[in-house]
A and B are shown apart, each in its own frame.
Chain A
C-alpha cells in the first residue's frame, strides 16, 4: 500500500517530467500556473499522465478545478480511495 509520502513523491516526480523544475524544488503549495509555469493544456497533460500512471478514471471535469500541487495530490488520493473501495 502506497503511503501518503510515497504518493506525494510520485506525483512530484510526474510534475517534474512536465515542467523543467527539479523534484526537490517542487512544494505542495506551488501553484501549477503561477509557480510552475504550466498552461491549461500542460496541466491537463499532467493529470492525464497521472491517470495513466495510477490507472484512475479521472474525468476532464474533475481535472478542471486543480490549481496547486496539493490539489493534484488530493485528487489522486480521492480517486485511489474510490478505486480501492470499488
Chain B
C-alpha cells in the first residue's frame, strides 16, 4: 500500500507522518518547492517536491499511491483579496483531484475545517448541519465551504472529509490557531471577540485521519473536536495557567471584524503579522458548539483533554522558542484549566 501526504511538512502534516510511521508505514511526503522540511528530514521519510500550481508535478508525486491525504489546501495569508483567493483555492484543489484521478488513487482524505459546519438551533452542530450555500461571513468560511463542496463532488475515486476544530499541539511552527494562546502567554493582550471556540489535539486529528483512510466504510464527512468553550473564559483560564495578566474584555463582534480588516491591511504594508486576523475573528464570532460523537463512535477516536494538549504544546513551543523558557524557579507543572472548559 502506498500513501502520499500532501502538505507533509506543515503542522498537521508532521503529526500525520508521525502517526503513519508509528503504524509501520513509510508515507511519500509531498512538499512545496520552498518550505521548512527540517522535521521531515529528521524522520528520514521519502520526500517529493510538487507545486499545487503544476499539475504535471502533482501527477508524478501521486503516481502509484492508493491513498492520498490532502492537507495542503490553499490557506490565504489574509482576507484582502477574496476573489483571487477563492480562484486560487479552487484551481489548486482541481489540480490535486485531477492528479489523484490520473494516478489511480482509490481514496483521498481531504482536510477541511469546522468553518463548514452550520449552526443548529438549540443543540450542538453535527455533520448533518450543512450550509446550503457559501456562508456569508468572510473569505475563510466561503473558501473552505466551496473547496469542501468541490471535494465532495468528486466521483472518480472516494473522497472522505475531515473537519478539524482549531488544532493545537506540537509542530505548529507557523503559530496558526495557537496565535492567541502564544500572544497571551508572552504577556501581550491580544484583541479578540467572544464566541464559541472548539479545539482538538493535532495528534488526535492525525490518528483520526489514519482511521479515515483505513476504515472499510468511513463516514463521508466527520467533525474532529475535543470540546467547545467560550473564548474569553478560556483566555482567562490560560492567563492563570501562564501567570500573566488577564486579557482585556472581548470586543463586540462588529468592532473585532473591523479591527481584523484594518490589521490585515496594515500588516500587508508593514510586512508583519496582524494582531487579529479576519479568519480568526470570523471563526470566533460565528463559532458554533460542536458535537463530535460520530468521530468517537465510527472511528473510535479518543480526544485528549485540553490540559494534556497544552502541556505537549508548551513543551514543544519552549524547545523551539515559540514560547519563552520557563522563568527560573517557576513550577514545571501548570495549574490545570480543564475544569474551566466543557467538552462536547
Contact = CB atoms under 8 A, between A and B. Distances in A.
Contacts of A70: none
A48 B34 CA distance: 9
A63 B38 contact: yes
B319 to A, nearest CB: 5
Contacts of B174: 41
A62 to B, nearest CB: 8
B36 A45 contact: yes
Nearest to B14: A60
A74 interface: no
B321 A57 contact: no
Interface in A14-73: 37, 39-41, 44-45, 47-49, 51-52, 57-61, 63-65
Contacts of A61: 319-320
B173 interface: yes
B-side interface mostly? loop
Interface residues of B, number: 16
Contact of B38 (A39, A40, A60): A60
Contacts of B37: 48, 51-52
B268 to A, nearest CB: 13
B34 to A, nearest CB: 6
A57 B42 contact: yes
A5 to B, nearest CB: 26
B81 interface: no
B321 A51 contact: no
Contacts of B319: 61, 64
B267 to A, nearest CB: 11
Contact of B41 (A51, A64, A65): A51
B271 A44 contact: no
Contacts of B34: 45, 49
Contact of B272 (A39, A59, A64): A39
Interface of A: 37, 39-41, 44-45, 47-49, 51-52, 57-61, 63-65
